[in-house]
A and B are shown apart, each in its own frame.
Chain A
């Protein structure tokens, strides 16, 4: 079965989109160089223009993907609800997370599977790489509770590795090496994943129906967020992601993504193609592959298997960071993994799109320091006298308007599409408008801090050191102003330096710096304020998502099981919490 409405659709769409993004960026570059250097640009003008074109390309690319998704017809979800023919192992790799929460979610998923009479078709395997002995003891006790669930013995398994060889990828490989031959498919989840039985069935059926399908990725929706930051991210994932993924799916064709969880793989395809080697050399570029998921997707595509994302498959959930510090910590790990993919750009036999995906992942992080470099170069340019070249008449307003349109147009296009296809109704009808505006406002305000954190992460990885993070509580939600300041004081210092420099060197340009410098100066306050709102989150109408307005039964079931287990304290959680057991960051 080919991908697309006609042969070559994916290739044509890729070509058109790449050409469009390149054309927009080159045009913006021409406007920009006319503005700053006229017909006599200096070397600094060229540097600034190249930086603008480089970074702008990925902005336009992302925006175009969203617009394509907003205007694309709604495809039918893969699979159906017939009983699957193949047998599926639901793999849950865990690493020092709260086992009671994770195991309660597994219990909820198992109850739905058993209720549908599919116990023989779906087994669960909890693959622990936990290093903390206290958390390992909690896991063993929580597993005992799990064994009281329907049909659990002989269907739900647990093991803990003493040595975490190969990290998460090695954890799954260890399972396949032992028992992979007993299953046709594997649904891979994270510790915070939750998936409806109907979704699992549809995924297994999609595998049954298309024997060339190697991997099917769902688009998980973030649930359980309570802070302003967390709920904004949850709203984004619930509202925008479906459309962005729909656009991305059209461009990716059969070389789609794998995000490491909430996906199903064909066991024999995964085993044959995804044995990851240890890269030669030392970290950060050598050693074990950190962001293994992108690589596994590329290897499956290299092996001739279809790798597909299906945004229409609902019922797939995960949890996300609740504050900017936790988000930045996670981003730092992903950054290291993505930068390591530099080594794999020229790997033998990969499809063109897999290489492009690696490049896209690298640029997702490299864009931040390049933007920062553009700002620094622009500050430095205020010291250089104007070359006096003739101008066509490009204005800074035109450039600024172009950036704003690139960032906002996809979101407004999705808002319009949501009104037409009924999505907005699930988000509270007209109330989605303030949520979209609020998301735009909050994401704009946190952008400079995020840019600073990402730039620091790239710098730390390239130069091989880690500045560390202030300690946050396990399951941290709200952060104190003090913690926020400890994490971001250096951003304030940089902002003060930039404002002072511009005030002295080129006060006329100061208004153009302030939209970035002012939020950077207020970074600690923004981090602190955006982590608040836990108490009144559920009743809040802003960022309201369908998972709050009309939660899926499995969300309620998982919460009920968790509450029951906690109330009966079957695993000594009170005792362990009192000991101050923390998961390493």
Chain B
């Protein structure tokens, strides 16, 4: 029986392709303001 980490990806073309992360959330202006100025103990 082979070792479980057996990875015969050898021979697969090495041709990296970037997959940039997409934006799906809108910046929450009110929430950011609230966190930045009012919840001072949560900074950092």
Contacts and interface: CB of A to CB of B under 8 A. Distances in A.
Contacts of B29: none
Contacts, number: 106
Contact of B8 (A158, A177, A344): A158
Contacts of B8: 143, 157-159
Contact of A162 (B3, B5, B23): B5
B17 A180 contact: yes
A516 B15 CA distance: 57
A272 B20 contact: yes
A16 interface: no
Nearest to A172: B19
Nearest to B19: A275
Interface stretch (A36-44, A134-142, A244-252, A522-530): A134-142
A347 interface: yes
B2 A343 contact: no
Nearest to B24: A347
A273 interface: yes
A568 interface: no
Nearest to B18: A271
Interface in B1-25: 1-9, 11-25
B13 to A, nearest CB: 3
Interface stretch (A47-55, A276-284, A383-391): A276-284
A348 B23 contact: yes
B43 interface: no
Contacts of A351: none
A176 B4 contact: no
Contact of A140 (B6, B17, B23): B6
Contacts of B9: 157-159, 178
B31 to A, nearest CB: 10
Interface residues of A, number: 43
Interface in A240-294: 267-268, 271-277, 279-280
B34 to A, nearest CB: 15
A153 B7 contact: no
Contacts of A153: 11
Contacts of A268: 17
Contacts of B20: 272, 275
A280 B32 CA distance: 13
Nearest to B28: A280
Contact of B19 (A137, A141, A271): A271
Contact of B25 (A154, A158, A347): A347
Nearest to B4: A136
Contacts of B19: 173, 176-177, 180, 271-272, 274-275
A279 B25 contact: yes
Given A137-B1, A162-B5, A157 B21 contact: no
Nearest to A127: B9
Nearest to A289: B24
Contacts of B14: 178-179
A136 B14 CA distance: 24
Interface in A50-66: none
B15 A181 contact: yes
A364 interface: no
Nearest to B31: A280
| Residue picked from B1, B3, B5, B20, most chain A C-beta under 10 Å | B1
Contact of B24 (A179, A277, A572): A277
Contacts of B12: 125, 157, 178-179, 182
| Residue picked from B6, B18, B20, most chain A C-beta under 10 Å | B6
Contacts of B26: 346-348
A456 interface: no
Contacts of A158: 6-9
B9 to A, nearest CB: 4
Contacts of B22: 273-277, 299
A173 B19 CA distance: 7
B26 to A, nearest CB: 6
A222 interface: no
A287 to B, nearest CB: 13
| Residue picked from A143, A153, A182, most chain B C-beta under 10 Å | A182
A271 B19 CA distance: 5
B21 A140 contact: no
A133 interface: yes
A480 B29 CA distance: 55
B17 A177 contact: yes
Nearest to B13: A182
B16 A181 contact: yes
Nearest to A180: B17
Contact of A160 (B6, B13, B18): B6
A457 interface: no
B4 A182 contact: no
B7 A160 contact: yes
A213 interface: no
Interface of A: 125, 133, 136-137, 140-141, 143-144, 153-154, 157-160, 162, 173, 176-183, 267-268, 271-277, 279-280, 295, 299, 343-344, 346-348, 572
22 contacts: A140-B1, A140-B3, A140-B4, A141-B1, A141-B2, A158-B9, A160-B6, A162-B5, A177-B18, A178-B9, A179-B13, A180-B16, A180-B17, A182-B15, A271-B19, A274-B22, A276-B22, A277-B21, A277-B25, A343-B24, A343-B25, A348-B24
The 8 nearest A-B residue pairs measured at CB: A181-B15, A180-B17, A182-B13, A182-B15, A136-B4, A140-B2, A140-B6, A275-B19
